[in-house]
Structure 1
């Protein structure tokens, strides 16, 4: 989450609206290996699939907050370019989702157009992985050093979270961070997101429909509300979705589908969506950014071996597909309606899948 300076620029989050109750964990406590904080992290990743991570009070967290604020500045400059310039860097699905997607080119389940501008930056591009470099708008090119620093700092925070998770799962130290190391090619990205103000009659509009993320972990930096989660066990109706209230100094951490696959459903990937911001926040432009960590390109979705993760049961077949192939397949199945987006995982050892 950017520093309080950005929160001061936006209307306050309104009181008395249904909000999700998520645990807030301290990066400082996790880095000092506080056992209680580590246990709370693991519990949150089973029961919710989301938690707030307070970055304050430790140098690495404070540095990431400053970098996030620079990225918000860069986002405002980039989206402030003329539309004709942004259109020179279009996404090219299905081959590539890097670059610019303008509002309205996608459709929500109810047939309405989406309401979000997106510019997606590749970590491999910014960190100089051979063969990954691509053209970006001038503001991004001029700030390559700052963007690379953000990627490095955010990746380090994610590695710390994964280190605690693998300890509770009983995996060998270093197993999970090694599978998404910044020095190995991956599809890890930073998505810059902008939603324009909504008119009063359109405040319930869906900006991004319900979904789970396909990678490993997402760090969401946001100031205005709009993100909603559907708690496990609730039917997917409008009144059951709960807003997540952004908090100064904190980043929202969400687990994604590949971790569910690797852990045989122990960890949870929660269903979430984006709608118009609540209250007066709906009347200002909403900026947010999602750092989406993916596994290295050579990894598969085969479940990890050892510790608490159960072996294959009778009749179960190991999935040997690579993470890129599996992600493409899952996305296509959801697009065709063969798979319904839903919360996945969140079981204790010994439960049926």
Structure 2
């Protein structure tokens, strides 16, 4: 019997190679380009984030999700017009179906913007986080992790810019001093057959709205990326993060890099899965630039994907708000009811 070839998986790229000798850097950029084109992402190693910090994040996640529901609901996301706080299992939605996960959303710790006449609707997205009083250790640990992961993504974006024939600081103008940052601490409970809505999604197929996403996986798999050959399992690899291309990078590269569609499959009954996802986007008041690519790359740029279910907006704040309103209808109804009739047309 002829042996079947191993299934293709996203490569592991070591970020230290990008910061090494010029010849090694060029090899790294070529591998990044190939991986981002083929898979919409890759694994990143050599990122410099201490394993102790990610272990602490998972330990604190476990402690928080183990609290009684009444304590978790003291920071219910429905209280926050900024989409910060705790979401119960089944209360976030992807493509109209309930996601079988619970989570805490923690963004940049910034004051709310003034509710001035004529202010854009996305201005409501900025504001303080909600923190559980019964777990004070959570705040310093997550904010430190947010800072560390922001640094990693900025380094990767320097490489992405060079891979597109741009200066290495090409993204700094839209990142500015107040980039959009979001950490999600996530727990996917095991799922009985027939439990919840049809489809069995831990989180349904979707694209991320920012520039790049880092996924810190724990011990159990479940993340899948859509490819031309079907869904591809992206297994946890110790010491690495998964990097996913986001919608803003798809726009900036004129579709040379496209955001991947990914999902999470619920773990079996009697188990669960922990994950940390970090999303970095541009400043809310910025507009995505479309890079002028070198001719050889421009010839391969496909333009942004046209999906009527998921329009992409060059205005960063509008793109971010679109994603949040459809994912959290309870928050949308409570804090953005004035926008919903127009957006339903």
TM-score by structure 1 length? Answer: 0.73
Deviation at 1:331, TM superposition (A): 6.6
Match of 2:139 in 1: 144
Match of 2:30 in 1: 39
Contact 1:193 1:288 in 2 (8 A): yes
Output aligned runs, 1:256-275, within 5 Å.
256-275=246-265
Distance change in 2, residues 1:158/1:282 (3 Å): farther
Deviation at 1:217, TM superposition (A): 0.6
Match of 1:344 in 2: none
Deviation at 1:332, TM superposition (A): 6.4
How far, CA to CA, are the matches of 1:320 and 1:227 in structure 2? 26
Contact 1:31 1:160 in 2 (8 A): no
Match of 2:107 in 1: 122
Match of 2:308 in 1: none
Match of 2:191 in 1: 198
Contact 2:77 2:83 in 1 (8 A): yes
Partner SS state of residue 88, structure 1 = helix
Match of 1:315 in 2: none
Deviation at 1:180, TM superposition (A): 2.5
Partner SS state of residue 143, structure 2 = helix
Match of 1:303 in 2: 290
One of 59, 66, 69 as aligned partner of 2:55: 69
Contact 1:204 1:275 in 2 (8 A): no
Give the alignment's Cα RMSD to 1 decimal: 3.5
Contact 1:260 1:266 in 2 (8 A): yes
How far, CA to CA, are the matches of 1:333 and 1:310 in structure 2? 33
Match of 2:82 in 1: 96
How far, CA to CA, are the matches of 1:104 and 1:43 in structure 2? 36
Structure 1 residue ranges without an equivalent (≥5):
1-15, 235-239, 313-318, 337-353
Match of 1:153 in 2: 148
Deviation at 1:139, TM superposition (A): 5.6
Greater Cα offset, 154-163 or 202-211:
202-211
TM-score by structure 2 length? Answer: 0.74
Greater Cα offset, 86-95 or 259-268:
86-95
Deviation at 1:44, TM superposition (A): 1.1
One of 260, 271, 276 as aligned partner of 1:289: 276
Deviation at 1:298, TM superposition (A): 2.3
Output aligned runs, 1:322-337, within 5 Å.
322-329=315-322
How far, CA to CA, are the matches of 1:143 and 1:197 in structure 2? 25
Contact 2:29 2:162 in 1 (8 A): no
Distance change in 2, residues 1:305/1:219 (3 Å): same
Match of 2:129 in 1: 134
Greater Cα offset, 164-173 or 255-264:
164-173
How far, CA to CA, are the matches of 1:69 and 1:335 in structure 2? 29
Distance change in 2, residues 1:334/1:292 (3 Å): closer
Deviation at 1:104, TM superposition (A): 1.8
How far, CA to CA, are the matches of 2:68 and 2:160 in structure 1? 44
Greater Cα offset, 172-181 or 283-292:
172-181
User: What is the CA deviation profile of residues 26-76 of structure 1, one whole-angstrom value per residue up to 9, with x for unaligned ones?
Assistant: 122223252212210122112211101123xxxx5252x322111111111
Deviation at 1:163, TM superposition (A): 0.8
Partner SS state of residue 75, structure 2 = coil
How many residue pairs get matched? Answer: 296
